[in-house]
Structure 1
Amino acid sequence: MKLPLLALATLLLHNSLPVHATIRLPALVGDHMVLQRDTKVPIWGWAAPGEKVTLTFQGKTYAAVPASTGKWQVTLPATPAGGPYTMTLRGQNTLTIQDILVGDVWLASGQSNMELPLRDPNAPKPNSYPVVVHAEQEVAAANFPQIRQFTVKKQVSNQPRLESEGYNWKLCSPSTAGQFAAVPYFFARDLHQHYKVPIGIISSPWGGTPAEAWVSGEALKVLPDFQAKVVEVEKQTTPENNDPNTPTGLFNGMIAPLIPYAVKGIIWYQGESNANRAEQYRTLFPTLIKDWRGRWGYDVPFLFVQLANFKETEPEPAESDWAELREAQALALTLPRTGMAVAIDIGDGKDIHPANKQDVGHRLALVARKVAYNDKQVVAAGPTFQSMRVTGNKVQLRFTDAGSGLQVKGSNGVLKGFAVAGADKKFHWATAKLEGQQVVVSSEAVPTPVAVRYAWASNPEATLYNREGLPAAPFRTDQWEGVTHGKK
């Protein structure tokens, strides 16, 4: 079928590399950028096909010849942390990039809890966005010129885009910090203060979006639930799309153009928009992780925030789609070089956007130190269920990641949030006690227990921690059919 001339022209404009007689660079490559240390770093751009392009960095000059498409690429050798440096590119024109730092670069993506700004009075925000705790004091103290953020412009596309617009690299200062995404800022601050190296954040989230919007069409088509939807998207004759919920649309518009910019790792905070399809997320989320890693060409550390507590508390044990989504997130930890920050104790039952972003960023930074920086001494997670043993009407629970020991927090020293069930699958609140490095639970209503759940609710009461102050991850020992079973 022939495309209308206007549609064809639009398609070529957005998805072909136009030929230019002068060197042109992607938005990511510019003044104040942070380059990834200790690894090879690709720098790319466009020029006239066959035009000789040279790039000079740290006293060495590298040459490239654009392909027929006009694209060229140079790979810089591994460089230790440092700067500021200058980069000069020459062809028919000359470009100079100044104030370049070499440190660690992190891509931050997901939905609104990764997007929420520290404090930006000039930016329109949804009425549901709260003010981050102590925002005024945080902004006033944010004098970290070696922390820098590049914000990707929101863009949905039916086909992978070759370029993405952005809002330039901004240095962190009291005059700019309010515009920084809060979770990435606190994450970057922790790492910067600990490792004393520059930290660059590439911020590419979009509030309210589902995970399937962030997966490439090629990877998404492997999943039966999304095959037909992706095919329909790919049939579109123009790349423009205004719906951020479109499967693969945000990968095409906001992730594909960032590749292959070298990164230390990825932080991800998303899942609220997929909670009603939590069982599906068990497959979808690992697909996203493996897809992005395949695009970058290496096992990028992938760290994520488990959904915070939200909604009304339940008086009795009940099923929960949010609990099932948290379980789906935790199952992704079977993939190598992944890590999870638990947030069930720092949410807000009445606001899906909790104001406490400091603890989220800090916990992600602990996970980064463990997973991405290979710090074997850091305690990065709270108690994690390991095994259970039934003795009469009691169940003994063992945990890993107990740190220097288990402890009870809140509820006047009483362990709460545990429920037990017998073969009838009816859960009852349990009495729970610490016995050394174990938790022992029982209920008079369940003489023969077969299953235990902890913090299995949309807004659970978190009481079990390690002595390092990190909460136990929610868990269940059963595999009974949940409320999101079969939902697409």
Structure 2
Amino acid sequence: MKKIALKLLCSFIVLVPMLVCGQIELPPIFSSHMVVPRNKQIPLEGKAEPRTTLTITIGSQSHTAKADKNGVWKVNLQPMAAGGPFVLQIEDDQGRELTLDNLLVGDLWLCAGQSNMQYTLNMLRYKETPDDNYDSPNLRLCSVWVDRDYLPRKDVPNAVWQEVSKETARNFSAVGYFFGKNLAREQEVPIGLISSNLGATAIETWMGMDVLKTFPQFDEVTQKVGKINKSFKTLDTEFEKFRKKWDDKYYLKGPGIEGKWYEEGYDYSNWEECTLPAFWNDFGYASHDGSMWFKRTFDLDSVQMESDFNIVLNQIDDYDRVWVNGVQIGESFGKSNFRNYSASKDILREKGNILTVRVFDVGGKGGIYTNAFWGNSILNGTWKYKKGVSIDSNRFPQPEVSNGSPFSHPMLLYNASIAPLHKLPIAGVIWYQGESNASRAVEYGSLLPAMIQDWREKWNHPKMSFLVVQLANYRQEDKTPTNSNWAELRESQMKATALENVDIVTAIDIGEANDIHPYNKKEVGRRLALLAKHYNYGDILKKGPVYKSHSLNDTSILVEFETHGGKLVSKDRYGYLRGFAIAGKNGEFKWAKAELVTTNTVKVYHENIKNPKYVRYAWSDNPGQLDLTNAEGLPAFPFRTDNFELGTSKKTYQYDPHAF
């Protein structure tokens, strides 16, 4: 899950401005090839030369807008029926024009979550099958570049709308693409998919301040952010002004800076050795605040020498400045931010490149502390180090900087990557996330529905469809029934379906024991499309069997299922069913035998358990091969009938400034 995190860090520092043509600008989410929401008034706000008059036309509509003294203009596009293509033409009274062409009017769906939503066909190394083709003229794809902020933004940093081709489809969310392809193939309504997701992220990163404030476990974060009450852009601007005096007077001082320990030719052979990543508390400097210098060498092969070289140092507490072969390649501030630098090929050599990192700690722990999960040889391993300047952290001026991990810090991704989308009406959300919250699975049962309701409120769409992917089977099969965080998380995901127009598909049968990113995203997308066709387009509901009720007798438990229009089916040639566990009043579960007894009822029993009281199904990280489906071939959902305290029931979010 965390292997793709590195690939996304670059997006946090690459910001593309509004779509610009001359002096006429539109937010990035508006561009050629997009899908405009049908039957909805669309607020359109852009910029132009101050006090100019603009004419905006699309289809049979024509609007006039006046740019104010700051160049801001606004207009509301009137509702349009599904169809297209259309051209959006904007012209000012000076003859400047901006044209968006090939627009369709239809339904927008948001594809959100963590890496299993974000994984593309290329990342999966997906191989086309004979029934695959990329002919989907009614489907459009939009990828949002995620970013972070303390406050909700008006616009996403960048968004790219594209028609479907082999290249664009293979670089889009695989789950999203297959979902959209299934919808567009059977609906006359054009479908637009907006992909805004990031691997390894916890749900709280996608939740806004308003909803987080209803949960006391987030008080430390919400109160701190509320007190700061500034955007990252404002903080960055203020910090640049602050540095004009702070650098020379306080920060860039000490023997390392004055002695130029970063220069080529500096002799550091007598420095001590340490192993990174680590805090320097771990090697005897717990009381030291100030700078610590680190050096190591690295070699490159001829292929690597052909381009600039990436230096990934992850999280550093608190500040850093980095040199390669005596040339500064970057600096960062904020203990939770991720460091991703590039060394120009012009300064590199094949052998003996010298990497120098000055780490500056202003209190508490200091160090280069986050493991390189993707096996970055530059970070992990043996380094030379030497203590630099010491400071009194109580007297050292500490500027407020934009700071927070995109993977774990509450609200940051929501503010920059979801909140700006609220002005665009959407038909619904497909959501694939939860792996990063499995250690707090019970808590997730409260967070997910709260997030759904908050998103609906912000979109002003109280019954907006919200379709969830339940976690797939993962890790090795359990030899005996046992506790499972993933099973608890699946139960929490299922609880969200108590909300109207919230539903779920399970991937309990198509996961892979050794890969947290299972290959078969095609089937996940198809199952999600089956739900969307029901909730948004009038088809009958098609989903797997769901536990409905149970009854006890002396030797077995009869479990009744809601089969959603079809009978229960066993894929086993003898009609037996795997995945069931049973327990008596002592609560000790054993794998059970199970068989179909009616079209919607399963009998579960164990020869050594008399008067059974509880039954569980697929209650495991990976329950192995399962047989129970409905006539549509859709698998039954995991469940339990007991109310025993779960292993994660007392685990809730706790703020950690050094969280990944």
TM-score by length of 2: 0.66
Distance 1:481 1:68 in 2: 62
Distance 1:137 1:53 in 2: 50
SS of the equivalent of 2:25 reads coil
Q: Which of 255, 262, 270 is the equivalent residue of 2:433?
A: 270
Matched, 1:105 2:99: no
SS of the equivalent of 2:26 reads coil
Q: Which residue of 1 aligns with 2:125?
A: 131
Q: Which of 275, 284, 287 is the equivalent residue of 2:447?
A: 284
Structure 1's 217 and 49: CA in aligned 2 closer, same or farther, altered over 3 A? farther
Q: Which residue of 1 aligns with 2:468?
A: 304
Q: Which residue of 1 aligns with 2:8?
A: none
Bigger drift between 414-423 and 244-253 goes to: 414-423
Q: Which residue of 1 aligns with 2:641?
A: 477
List alignment gaps of at least 5 residues for structure 2.
Answer: 1-14, 233-401, 653-660
1:144-293 mapped onto 2 (5 Å cutoff): 144-236=136-228, 239=232, 240-241=402-403, 243-244=405-406, 245-293=408-456
SS of the equivalent of 1:362 reads helix
Bigger drift between 458-467 and 313-322 goes to: 458-467
1:363-402 mapped onto 2 (5 Å cutoff): 363-375=527-539, 377=540, 379-402=541-564
Look up the equivalent residue of 2:83 and give its one-letter code. G
Bigger drift between 474-483 and 49-58 goes to: 49-58
Distance 2:48 2:130 in 1: 46
Note the C-alpha offset of 1:68: 7.9
SS of the equivalent of 1:222 reads coil
Q: Which of 588, 601, 615 is the equivalent residue of 1:426?
A: 588
Look up the equivalent residue of 1:26 and give its one-letter code. P
CA shift digits 1:38-76 (9 cap, x unpaired) = 333333323467654442111221234567876544333
SS of the equivalent of 1:369 reads helix
Note the C-alpha offset of 1:346: 0.7
Matched, 1:114 2:117: yes
- Tell me if the contact between 2:47 and 2:73 (Cα under 8 Å) persists in the aligned partners: yes
SS of the equivalent of 1:83 reads strand
Distance 1:179 1:73 in 2: 34
SS of the equivalent of 1:327 reads helix
- Tell me if the contact between 1:216 and 1:252 (Cα under 8 Å) persists in the aligned partners: yes
CA shift digits 1:57-97 (9 cap, x unpaired) = 11221234567876544333332221110111234543211
Structure 1's 479 and 68: CA in aligned 2 closer, same or farther, altered over 3 A? farther
Structure 1's 380 and 229: CA in aligned 2 closer, same or farther, altered over 3 A? same
- Tell me if the contact between 1:339 and 1:368 (Cα under 8 Å) persists in the aligned partners: no
- Tell me if the contact between 1:22 and 1:91 (Cα under 8 Å) persists in the aligned partners: no
Structure 1's 225 and 435: CA in aligned 2 closer, same or farther, altered over 3 A? same
Q: How much is the aligned-residue C-alpha RMSD, in angstroms?
A: 2.3
Note the C-alpha offset of 1:215: 0.6
- Tell me if the contact between 1:312 and 1:349 (Cα under 8 Å) persists in the aligned partners: yes
Matched, 1:324 2:491: no
Q: Which residue of 1 aligns with 2:361?
A: none
Note the C-alpha offset of 1:167: 4.1
CA shift digits 1:397-437 (9 cap, x unpaired) = 11113432100124764201111112211111111110112
List alignment gaps of at least 5 residues for structure 1.
Answer: 1-13, 120-128
Aligned length in residues: 458
Note the C-alpha offset of 1:362: 0.1
Look up the equivalent residue of 1:114 and give its one-letter code. M
Distance 1:91 1:380 in 2: 51
Look up the equivalent residue of 2:529 and give its one-letter code. A
CA shift digits 1:119-163 (9 cap, x unpaired) = 2xxxxxxxxx5423x24868x721223321111112111211222
Q: Which residue of 2 aligns with 1:126?
A: none
Look up the equivalent residue of 2:151 and give its one-letter code. Q
Distance 1:67 1:295 in 2: 27
Matched, 1:347 2:511: yes
Distance 1:278 1:81 in 2: 41
- Tell me if the contact between 1:268 and 1:304 (Cα under 8 Å) persists in the aligned partners: yes
TM-score by length of 1: 0.88
Structure 1's 67 and 306: CA in aligned 2 closer, same or farther, altered over 3 A? farther
Distance 2:485 2:442 in 1: 9
- Tell me if the contact between 1:44 and 1:74 (Cα under 8 Å) persists in the aligned partners: yes
Q: Which residue of 1 aligns with 2:294?
A: none
Structure 1's 417 and 170: CA in aligned 2 closer, same or farther, altered over 3 A? same
Look up the equivalent residue of 1:416 and give its one-letter code. R
Distance 1:321 1:71 in 2: 50
Structure 1's 428 and 81: CA in aligned 2 closer, same or farther, altered over 3 A? same
Q: Alignment identity in percent? A: 40
Q: Which residue of 1 aligns with 2:379?
A: none
